[in-house]
Amino acid sequence: MLEKFLISIGLKQPDRVSDFVRSEPSTVRPSDENRFMETDIIGDVRIHSPKDEVEIKALRSFSEIHNLGIAIKDEFIVAMDIRDIPDQNERRRIVDFVTGMAFMSNSKIRSINKDGVFLILPSNSSLSTQERQRLQELGLYKINV
């Protein structure tokens, strides 16, 4: 038993290869059960792709940046709102830090509101028209104002 374990994790070579090679092929078939059929809501959990909705993160200080970093790492489209931060040095520090996170995750960052709202887009995503309208209704998306 120990010998098979050591062989399976690669710490020992088998004496005979034929002992560990099956003669009959094994087949893996997908399950016929599709638990998520065509519903978007399963219980209390909403099933969606990270590209469906923009995660809105309103920061009040640099110490709240951890949740934003997790969303960027998980390749969500993120709207970062720093309008509630009065200190310009802290705002600059947050933007610098998030720019570095975006660079490391191969994302793009752009300003969508001159008052302090930024959009972080993963490299393989784009902002849909519906999401742009939703952000405009929330007062976050104002480029030409």
Taking the chain (145 residues) in consecutive chunks of 10 residues, what is each chunk's mean pLDDT?
Answer: 74 66 51 48 44 83 90 90 93 94 92 92 86 88 69
Residue 23: predicted pLDDT: 53
**pLDDT value of position 20:** 52
As for how many domains the chain has, the answer is: 1
pLDDT at 47: 44
In a domain? residue 19 = no
Q: Which pLDDT belongs to residue 34? A: 47
- Give the whole-angstrom CA distance, residue 95 versus residue 100: 9
Closest among 61, 65, 91, 62 to 78, alpha carbons compared: 65
User: Is residue 93 one of the residues assigned to a domain?
Assistant: yes
On whether residue 113 sits in a domain, the answer given is yes
The CATH number given to whatever domain includes residue 124 is 3.30.110.150
| Chain Cα centroid distance, residue 29 | 30
Domain boundaries, position 64: 48-137
Bridge pairing between strands 117-122 and 107-113? antiparallel
pLDDT of residue 44: 42
pTM of structure: 0.62
